[in-house]
């Protein structure tokens, strides 16, 4: 997928860098069974109180049920369509299994209509196939990675992301994540071979504030632009800075460590993302 620079016929299109949907083969979802309505909270809890700021509005969406587990083993599936999903940055693919069942999956990059994929213990480490990481050769590029066997993929699901399986032992495999973190994961966890689709997603520019409103994001004011009663960084004469960066409730930002020192998963991290940069 590529991007395109629009002709500046309006102020909103002057700085916009738009995505190109050449890889999308179907404009509308074709399988109604895989869709459901998706409500919006507007940042409010069950009492109607705002608990998450800068949310609200946006275009109505329908949720697509995605098969993150890939638990239909040893049955080949054919890619029928590549579709746009408003709930995620990557494209999704509609696959039809040999027994007639259809499911959505995260579309790997360069996967095209008509390709055949499969999941299972004995699957080959080819693009789009899902198999346990212990059965992959070191150096394999993967996405949609499980952290607990059977729970479904949780890592590397957004557009253009990819991890690399760099080593393995009898029980664990060592994976280098997009953040630079190197961690151990159980070898029986499944992952999908290849990187996710839509790698140029991060090269796009919205071009105007209204496009952010369509996505359900509301505007926000900088802390230094507020009064002292509203924000710890507010006040001052003119454009005076607000002191140490912190949240409206006094939580330090930009450097304060918030991870628990005795967090259980620390033992599985070989190299943290902070130290790798």
How far apart CA 40 and CA 62 sit, in angstroms, is 11
Within 13 Å of residue 204, how many CA atoms lie on the same side as its CB?
A: 18
pLDDT digits (tens, 9 = 90+) for 54-108: 999 999 999 999 999 999 999 999 999 999 999 999 999 999 999 999 999 999 9
State mean pLDDT over 13-17.
Answer: 95
Percent pLDDT > 70 in the chain is 99
Predicted pLDDT at 112: 94
> Do residues 80 and 86 touch, judged by C-beta distance below 8 A?
no
pLDDT digits (tens, 9 = 90+) for 203-254: 999 999 999 999 999 999 999 999 999 999 999 888 777 788 999 999 998 8
Predicted pLDDT at 256: 87
Enumerate domains of the chain plus CATH numbers: 3-202 (2.40.50.140)
Predicted pLDDT at 274: 80
Across the chain, what does the average pLDDT equal? 94
Predicted pLDDT at 237: 86
Assess whether pLDDT exceeds 80 at residue 51: yes
Predicted pLDDT at 238: 82
How far apart CA 190 and CA 88 sit, in angstroms, is 21
Predicted pLDDT at 258: 86
Alpha helix (H) ranges present in 182-275?
209-214
How far apart CA 152 and CA 56 sit, in angstroms, is 30
Predicted pLDDT at 277: 53
Assess whether pLDDT exceeds 70 at residue 1: no
Task: Say how many Å lie between the first and final Cα of the chain, rounded.
Answer: 29
Percent pLDDT > 90 in the chain is 90
CA distances from 153 to 51, 53, 110, 150, 159 (A): 28, 29, 20, 9, 14
State mean pLDDT over 198-202.
Answer: 94
Predicted pLDDT at 243: 84
Longest dimension (CA), the chain: 71
Predicted pLDDT at 242: 78
Residue 60: closest CA among 215, 211, 191, 178: 215
Within 13 Å of residue 220, how many CA atoms lie on the same side as its CB?
A: 14
Assess whether pLDDT exceeds 80 at residue 276: no
> Do residues 93 and 202 touch, judged by C-beta distance below 8 A?
no
> Do residues 133 and 168 touch, judged by C-beta distance below 8 A?
yes
Taking the CA atoms of 132, 133, 135 and 136 in sequence, report the sign of the dihedral they define: positive
């Amino acid at each position: 997928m590529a991007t395109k620079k629009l002709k500046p016929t309006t102020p909103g299109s002057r700085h916009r860098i738009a995505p190109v949907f050449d890889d999308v083969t179907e404009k509308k979802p074709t399988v109604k069974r895989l869709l459901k309505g998706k409500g919006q909270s507007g940042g409010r809890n069950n009492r109607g109180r705002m608990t998450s700021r800068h949310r609200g509005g946006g275009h109505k969406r329908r949720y697509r049920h995605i098969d993150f587990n890939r638990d239909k083993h040893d049955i080949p599936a054919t890619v029928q369509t590549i579709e746009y999903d408003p709930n995620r940055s990557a494209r999704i693919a509609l696959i039809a299994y040999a027994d007639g069942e259809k499911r959505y999956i995260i579309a790997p990059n360069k996967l095209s209509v008509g390709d055949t994929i499969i999941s299972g213990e004995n699957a080959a480490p080819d693009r789009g196939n899902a198999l346990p990481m212990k059965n992959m050769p070191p150096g394999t590029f993967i996405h949609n990675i499980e952290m607990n066997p059977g729970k479904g993929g949780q890592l590397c699901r957004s557009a253009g992301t990819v991890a690399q399986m760099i080593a393995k032992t009898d029980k664990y495999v060592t994976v280098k994540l997009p953040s630079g973190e190197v961690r151990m994961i159980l070898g029986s966890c499944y992952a999908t071979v290849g990187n996710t689709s839509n790698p140029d997603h991060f090269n796009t520019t919205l071009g105007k504030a209204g496009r952010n409103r369509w996505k359900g994001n509301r505007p926000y004011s900088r802390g230094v632009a507020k009064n002292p009663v509203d924000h710890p960084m507010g006040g001052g004469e003119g454009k005076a800075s607000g002191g140490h960066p912190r949240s409206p409730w006094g939580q330090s930002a930009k450097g304060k460590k918030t991870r628990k020192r005795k967090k259980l998963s620390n033992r599985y991290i070989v190299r943290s993302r902070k130290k790798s940069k």
